[in-house]
Amino acid sequence: MIKFDNVSKRYPGGHQALSQVDFELADGEMAFLTGRSGAGKSTLLKLIMLMETTSQGQIFVNGKNLSRMPKHRIPFYRRRIGVVFQDHQLLFDRNVFENVALPLQIEGYPKHEADRRVRAALDKVGLLKKEKMLPITLSGGEQQRIGIARAVVNRPQILLADEPTGNLDPELAAEIMKLFEQFNQVGVSMLIASHDLSLITRLQHRILTLDTGRLILDAHHTAATAQPVGGK
Amino acid sequence: MSKRRRETGAKTSNRTARGALQSHWQQHLKIASDSFKRLLQQPSASLMTIAVIGIALLLPSTLFVSMSNLNALSDSINGASKVTLYLHEEHTEGEALKISEQLLQREDVTTTEYISPAQAAEQFSVYSGLGDVIDALDENPLPGAIIVTPASIDADATQALATELAQLSIVDSMQLDLQWVERLQRFLQLVQRASTGLMLILALAVLFIVGNTIRLAIEGRRAEIVVVKLVGGTNSYVARPFLYAGAYYGLAGSILACILLAILMWAISGPARALLALYDSDFQLRTLGLSSTVFLLLIGTGLGWLGALISVRQHLSNIEP
Ligand SMILES: Nc1ncnc2c1ncn2[C@@H]1O[C@H](COP(=O)(O)OP(=O)(O)OP(=O)(O)O)[C@@H](O)[C@H]1O
Ligand SMILES: [Mg+2]
């Protein structure tokens, strides 16, 4: 589903954020991406979203080489990927409901269908009662959950999440992770960046560990989703 | 790929296809009303832009109305232009009246009027206020005259008629006051050219004003644009509200121009009527008219939309997540 082939990323300032990263995430697989702050987790996810471009190497998503993707295809490509951003990326002049409805609105869903899906997504993250509120009036954890609802509302093939539980208390964090596992069980491929090691080791999924831009560890926990290390 | 997901996927695409058309219009309507609300949210910025557009559109529309009035006026003056035939001194009143009758039979003549030397003297003293001068003279120095109104309003035809009538033996000299009408028409042609050029320049000005306003709006909503693009908004989706805004600005500006023009017309209608009545008593002052008003509104809206489009093309693609 997602394949990194010897990918390096050097930012314009000269900082080497990723060095020769090689891994493959199978269709329907769930994996965590961990590493210390500044290790390059967000950079790796941004490369998949085409928010940044690779300096070296190639990324394939669903068999398509991202560096060859024409500019006008990018929006349609992004629609198939749900993303929870580390910095939330919400619209602060729209209420919770409208924020979550945005991807559906962009895709042109009929209103009743969109409303139904938005409510379902809000219900899953426990924000149904706050749908009329503006994001700015909500707590950090609640804002994060708006981002999660928005990421899953159009049932993407792939879900990327950057510190989705960073602002949540342990109980809520575990709940959100359980929600992610449910999505994974209906076939959504997942890549979740997190440095909450105690939480993610408990969950028994594959863990990719980055250290100053290098992939230093690729640990598989369950036999069902195991891939040979460095496998293509 | 898991079986379960495939099923949900199929169901989804079916549903989307069925509601697609209805939803397309829903989407447009929503964006249209959202961007309208946004204009109302920042009334001062919007009003400034609308005022400038209104004034920029007012100038050419005022010119257009003035031109159409002057054109109509010059036509009616031309139609009213008269040939004055001054008669030899030795003619008798009977002769003159007979000639006058004969001329009236011609196809190219509408009316004739004989003015005897005595009547001429009377008119002279009334209009010039120099009646004493005439009285002081032993003999009336003014000749009799026949005033002929040509049937045609065409300047060339009138000229030909006048030249022909000047050949009559009773006629001493002929006078045709066509020259200033011709000059007026030449002048109007010149103004028409100049105003076409001016209209193009002002249309450009409207494009710039709207373009700049939209550029500022895009800058102000940069963060929002990034978010929309991140969740899969295309350039044209992101552009749509700005295009609507541009069209609204243009429409509001042209409505303002219409209102200002109506006020202007109302303010000058009194004096203008009095002035025009001197030339042509039953001349009607022309307003913009329905079709020209609709045209102005369409042009204004179109220019606003175009200005926004240019701005969007320049600035939107630079904003990438
Ligand atoms: N736009 C940028 N320009 C230049 N350098 C950048 C940019 N974004 C990130 N970096 C650098 O790249 C490195 C990796 O950053 P990244 O955001 O991927 O780390 P991270 O693993 O997500 O960290 P955190 O856990 O704190 O979110 C950092 O050292 C950072 O300074
Ligand atoms: Mg990060």
Mean pLDDT, residues B84-99: 84
DSSP letter at A188 equals -
Instruction: Give me ligand 1 centre to Cα A179, in Å.
Output: 27
Contact A110 B26 (CB under 8 A): yes
Say whether pLDDT at B76 is over 60: yes
Widest CA span of chain A, in angstroms?
49
pLDDT at residue B304 in the model: 95
Average pLDDT, chain A: 88
Nearest CA to ligand 1 atom 6: A11
Q: Which residues of A touch B15 (CB under 8 A)?
A: 110, 113
- Are residues A44 and A18 in contact, defined by beta-carbon separation less than 8 angstroms? yes
pLDDT band at A8 (very low <50, low <70, confident <90, very high): very high
Q: Is the overall model pTM greater than 0.95, yes or no?
A: no
- Decide which of A12 and B276 is more confident: A12
- pLDDT at residue B100, rounded to an integer: 87
**Which residues in chain B (90-119) have CB-CB distances under 8 A to chain A?**
none
Contacts of A49 in chain B (CB under 8 A): 230, 321
Percentage with pLDDT > 70 across chain A: 95
Residue of B nearest to A93 (CA): B224
pLDDT of residue B78: 58
pLDDT at A96 over 90: yes
> What pLDDT, on a 0 to 100 scale, did the predictor assign at position B28?
77
Ramachandran quadrant class, A194 (left: phi over 0; alpha: psi -120 to 50; beta: rest): beta
Q: Does the Cβ of A213 fall within 6 Å of ligand 1?
A: no
Enumerate the β-bridge partners of residue A16. A10
CA dist., res. B233 & res. A154, Å (int): 13
Could you tell me the two tokens for A24? 């493959």
> Range with the lowest mean pLDDT among A42-46, B17-21, B313-317?
B17-21
Q: Supply the pLDDT for residue B303.
A: 94
ipTM of the complex: 0.87
C-alpha A23/C-alpha A6 separation (Å) is: 8
- The C-alpha of B223 sits at a distance from chain A's nearest C-alpha, in angstroms, of 8
> Each residue of B147-200: pLDDT tens digit?
888 877 677 777 888 888 888 888 888 887 766 667 777 787 888 888 888 888
Share of chain A above pLDDT 90, in %: 59
Q: What is the pLDDT of residues A97-126, one digit of tens each?
A: 999 999 999 988 888 889 999 999 999 888
Looking at the partner chain, which of A76, A85, A93 has a beta carbon nearest the beta carbon of B232? A76
What confidence tens digit (pLDDT) does each residue in B229-273 have?
999 999 889 999 999 999 999 999 999 999 999 998 888 888 877
A-chain CB neighbours of B320 within 8 Å are: 51
pLDDT (tens digit per residue) in B122-146 = 877 777 666 677 777 777 778 888 8
* Average pLDDT for B15-26: 57
Residues of A in Cβ contact (< 8 Å) with B24: 108
To the nearest whole number, what is the mean pLDDT of chain B? 80
Determine contact: A63 vs chain B, CB below 8 A: no
Confidence label for A221 from pLDDT (cuts 50, 70 and 90):
low
pLDDT given at position B16: 47
Are the beta carbons of B83 and B162 closer than 8 angstroms? yes
Helix/strand number for chain B, H first, E second = 11, 4
Task: Assess whether the C-beta atom of A110 lies below 6 angstroms from ligand 1.
Answer: no
Q: Fill in the DSSP letter of residue B44.
A: H
Residue A203, token pair as written in the block? 């969950």
What residues sit around ligand 2, an ion, with C-beta below 5 angstroms?
A: A 42, 86
Q: Which among A118, A119, A128, A127 has a CA at the least distance from the CA of A172?
A: A127
Question: What phi-psi label fits residue B173: left (phi over 0), alpha (psi between -120 and 50 degrees) or beta?
Answer: beta
Task: Tell if the CB–CB gap between A102 and B231 is shorter than 8 Å.
Answer: yes
Domains of chain B: 32-75+183-318 (no CATH), 82-176 (3.30.70.3040)
How far is the centre of ligand 1, averaged over its atoms, from the C-alpha of A47 (Å)?
Answer: 12
Name the residue type at position B185.
Q
Taking only residues 197 to 226 of chain B, the set having a beta carbon closer than 8 angstroms to any beta carbon of chain A reads 224, 226
Question: What pLDDT score was predicted for residue B11?
Answer: 41
**DSSP SS3 for B89:** coil
